[in-house]
Amino acid sequence: MAKKDVTDVALKGKVVLVRADFNVPMKDGEITNDNRIVQALPTLQYILEQGGKVVVFSHLGKVKEESDKAKLSLAPVAKRLSEKLDKEVTFIPETRGEKLESAIQALNEGEILMFENTRFEDVDGKKESKNDPELGKYWASLGDVFVNDAFGTAHREHASNVGISTHLETVAGFLMEKEIKFIGGVVENPDKPVVAILGGAKVSDKIGVIENLLNIADKVLIGGGMAYTFLKAQGKEIGLSLLEADRIEFAKDLLERAGDQIVLPVDGKVAKEFSNDAEITEVSVDEIPEDQESLDIGPKTVELFKQQLEGAHTVVWNGPMGVFEFSNFAQGTIGVCEAIAELKDATTIIGGGDSAAAAMQLGFEDDFTHISTGGGASLEYLEGKELPGIKAIANK
């Protein structure tokens, strides 16, 4: 069902609460990747241009005790947001109270402030993470309209997304709208044929996704560490490659049910040690030495996956094909990236997490229709689950 978005409500003169996902990576107090801030800009700029008074907030990391607060303040995020907007962003280092309320009341049309990390409320009883009703009601009382643009937390029922929506009209921001359109579109009404590519380390992380995508996709291509549990289920010798022994029966059952709908690697790059400097041998998956592990798919698998992608109208990819952090074992992931990027008439979607990081790191950011900003949220959406943060947004 279509959801209301930020263009469906009057904003001029209104205090507009915006839940963004500014859970950015930090090192020594410095932001190391500001993609999530950049992705939030269209929504914030639109509200400001419409004459809204913006109050933006987010979580950052996990705040378990008082000592966590010093390194998890949103102050550096407010500074970076100010630079990106080319506009002053007033930062209020509080999550509630008179100082925050007064600052909001003093806002003029087209001005923006940010308040402190919503997870600071977790130090005393996990009020944010457990959707404390009093906290959600309080935050809702600070504004006139609520715009939820934080897809990364849509799978969580928190005070800052679901709690506020209980008391205020809630609409999607532009980023949330894109996620619903593309990730939700894969699940609900994809343009066929559909090819899904799944990688990453563990089968157990993707059980629900695999089973749901088998109902949607014409082909499911499996690479990464998780592929070796499937190869083991076929009776192959996988050496020291990643294996989830407790998932072999599941993999065997899935392969029997899916038949040629599931496509597995035919070769891999093996090494005796988990190191970028290890000596590499390319072998068939029928010839993996018992004292070596496969750390990437091989060139024949890349070609096989390219063939499977031909003619696809919708492609969704989640999870790298190997240990892409090591340059010598990134070729499989690069090859898949290139193969998807070359599809001119397909809707191509990366379902967040490591595959999104890989695509950006490898320079393919502009070659996909959509790169999701959600990791866990994307996976749960692809499983076909109803996400609390999306359910809470008003229907059109």
Q: Which residues are annotated as a binding site?
A: 21-23, 36, 59-62, 119, 156, 206, 325, 352-355
- 36 is known as an active-site residue: yes
Among 184, 185, 208, 376, the active-site one is 376
Residues 104, 106, 112, CA angle at the centre, nearest 5°? 55
- 208 is known as an active-site residue: no
DSSP string covering 191-229: -SSEEEEE-SS-STTTHHHHHHHHTT-SEEEE-STTHHH
Q: Among candidates 13, 129, 148, 156, which has minimal Cα distance to 64?
A: 129
Among 353, 374, 375, 389, the active-site one is 353
Is the CB of residue 263 less than 8 Å from the CB of residue 308? yes
Task: Fill in the DSSP letter of residue 238.
Answer: -
Q: Which residues are annotated as a binding site for ATP?
A: 206, 325, 352-355
Residue 115: both structure tokens together: 């308040």
**Strands 281-284, 314-318: parallel, antiparallel or unpaired by DSSP?**
unpaired
Sign of torsion over alpha carbons 183, 313, 364, 294: positive
- 353 is known as an active-site residue: yes
From CA 83, how far away is CA 85, in angstroms rounded? Answer: 6
From CA 180, how far away is CA 2, in angstroms rounded? Answer: 9
Distance of CA 66 to the CA centre of its chain: 28
From CA 273, how far away is CA 279, in angstroms rounded? Answer: 8
What residues contact residue 344 under an 8 Å CB cut-off, 6+ apart? none
Q: Which residues are annotated as a binding site for substrate?
A: 21-23, 36, 59-62, 119, 156
Among 19, 36, 53, 232, the active-site one is 36
Among 202, 236, 252, 300, the active-site one is 202
Is the CB of residue 319 less than 8 Å from the CB of residue 297? no
- 374 is known as an active-site residue: no
b/e map of 34-64 (b: 16 or more CB within 10 Å)? bebbebbeebbbbbbebebbbbbbbbbeebe
What residues contact residue 124 under an 8 Å CB cut-off, 6+ apart? none
From CA 232, how far away is CA 60, in angstroms rounded? Answer: 40
Residue 128: both structure tokens together: 């944010």
From CA 271, how far away is CA 20, in angstroms rounded? Answer: 43
Is the CB of residue 308 less than 8 Å from the CB of residue 335? no
Residue 145: both structure tokens together: 């309209």
Q: Which residues are catalytic?
A: 36, 202, 353, 376
